[in-house]
Amino acid sequence: MEPSITKVNWQELIGKAWEKREPLWKDASVDCFRVFHGYEEGSTGTVIEKFNDAAVIDYKTDIRADLPELAQALLKVFPFKNIIAKGHQSLGLSLKERTNILHGNDTRVICHEQALKFKVNLDSPHNPGLYLDARDARAWLCDNSSDRRILNLFAFTGSLGLSSAYGKAAEVIHLDRSKELLPRIQENYQINNLEFEMRNFLRGDIYKHLPRAIKAGKKFDGIILDPPPKIYQSPYAKHKTNGQDFSALIQLCSQLLNPGGWVLGMLHRFDYSWDDFEDQVTEASGQLLLPQSRLTSGIDFPESMPDKKLRVSIFATPNTPIDER
């Protein structure tokens, strides 16, 4: 595949985007955020994220010819020690072609968000290990998990459950299908000096584990539900699973929730609205769960269409007090 020739003025685009994020790079407690959101800032398919002193460029349109210029534009706004570019698999590139180290040589870094630390793998084929648009959700969990027993579903590298643990949760159970991800959750606990028990990191199929937990009488005071946009077809599900499978998952989760408990649900799909999402959850729970508050992504995720942003809803029984952030 021949790289396309573009006429993007990267220095101008990056400079403008950096100025808009001044509240973030001036905040000494946060060193990770999205530097450039190309869908709204001048280059569809290109996003650039900062993790401490490293930058990761993800591109879905072929900008390989521009990468040296883009790296220099980034170095003019911040003294990055490492810059890595990753092309999307849809470009038809081999795995080797997809990842390019443009500056530096480190592929592992620890970044900081408020009081928490996160270890990220810059050269991971997909997300390095921290979804930056969930910053406000992590802050909410830190503030609303005290003394609660929390279930973190589709845990990934555990940042959401880790936030609950830092917020003095009585216990946090993490569940994910990937064997590779559970050790990364444990690493994040270790670098934050948080105690953990191995039995709280579960690998397995959510459609198998949740019915078993219900049958065993397990109960939780908070459930974090962040299903991926594309979900696997489970042999344990009684229906055809699809991305963001909230109807089926909420039916299960509502049976695991203690009185006064909450569910934090994260919507990534663009084909229905925030109101539709909340109505779906309320209906699936048999009117047990009602939307109490909403969160979304920060200034580093500019979108002209609100339904293109991450949408986070907190659901609870009507008499559950919820902190309004």
Based on the domain organization, do 139 and 255 belong to the same domain? Answer: yes
Same domain, 169 and 53: no
Is residue 302, in this structure, part of any structural domain at all? Answer: yes
| Inside any domain, residue 152 | yes
Q: Return the pLDDT at 2.
A: 47
Q: How many domains does the chain have?
A: 2
- Does residue 52 contact residue 80 with C-beta atoms inside 8 Å? no
Secondary structure (DSSP) of 216-258: TT--EEEEEE---SS----TT-SS---SS-HHHHHHHHTTSEE
In a domain, 156, yes or no: yes
Q: Which of 74, 89, 121 is the last residue of a domain?
A: 121
Q: What are phi and psi of 176, to 5 degrees?
A: -155, 155
Clarify whether residues 61 and 116 are in a common domain.
yes
3 state SS of 287: coil
b/e string for 207-228 if b means 16 or more Cβ within 10 A? Answer: bebbeebeeeeeebbbbbbbbe
Query: Which residue range forms the structural domain that includes residue 162?
Result: 132-316
Do 161 and 306 sit in the same domain of this protein?
Answer: yes
Identify whether residues 193 and 309 lie together within a single domain: yes
**One domain, residues 50 and 107:** yes
- List average pLDDT for each run of 10 residues in the chain, which is 325 residues long: 65 98 97 97 96 97 95 98 94 86 95 97 92 98 98 96 98 92 94 93 94 97 92 80 87 95 94 93 96 96 91 87 50
CATH of the domain at 31: 3.30.750.80
Question: 66, 95, 121: which is the final residue of a domain?
Answer: 121
**Residue 161's CATH number:** 3.40.50.150
Residue 322 belongs to some domain of the structure:
no
CA nearest to 134, candidates 315, 230, 266: 266
Residue 85 shares a structural domain with residue 188? no
Rounded CA-CA distance 177/241 in Å is 15
Beta strands in the chain (DSSP E): 32-37, 46-51, 54-59, 82-87, 99-103, 108-113, 116-121, 149-153, 171-176, 201-203, 220-225, 257-267, 290-296, 311-316
- The answer to whether residues 152 and 283 belong to one domain is yes
Show the tokens assigned to 215: 């049958």
Q: Are 51 and 111 in contact (CB under 8 A)?
A: yes
The predicted structure's pLDDT at residue 179? 85
Looking at the structure, tell me whether residues 108 and 216 fall in a common domain. no
Query: 287 in a domain, yes or no?
Result: yes
**Does a structural domain hold residue 226?**
yes
Say if residue 213 is in the same domain as residue 303. Answer: yes
> What are the tokens at 117?
């630390």
Q: Is 59 helix (H, G, I), strand (E, B) or coil?
A: strand
Q: 290, 280 in Cβ contact below 8 A?
A: no
* Confidence at residue 200, expressed as pLDDT on a 0 to 100 scale: 93
Say yes or no: 86 and 145 in one domain.
Answer: no
The last residue of one of the domains, among 94, 121, 148, is 121
Q: Report yes or no on 66 lying in a domain.
A: yes
103 and 177, same structural domain?
no
Domain membership of residue 166 (yes or no) is: yes
Give residue 229's pLDDT: 82
CB half-sphere exposure, 96, CA atoms < 13 A: 0
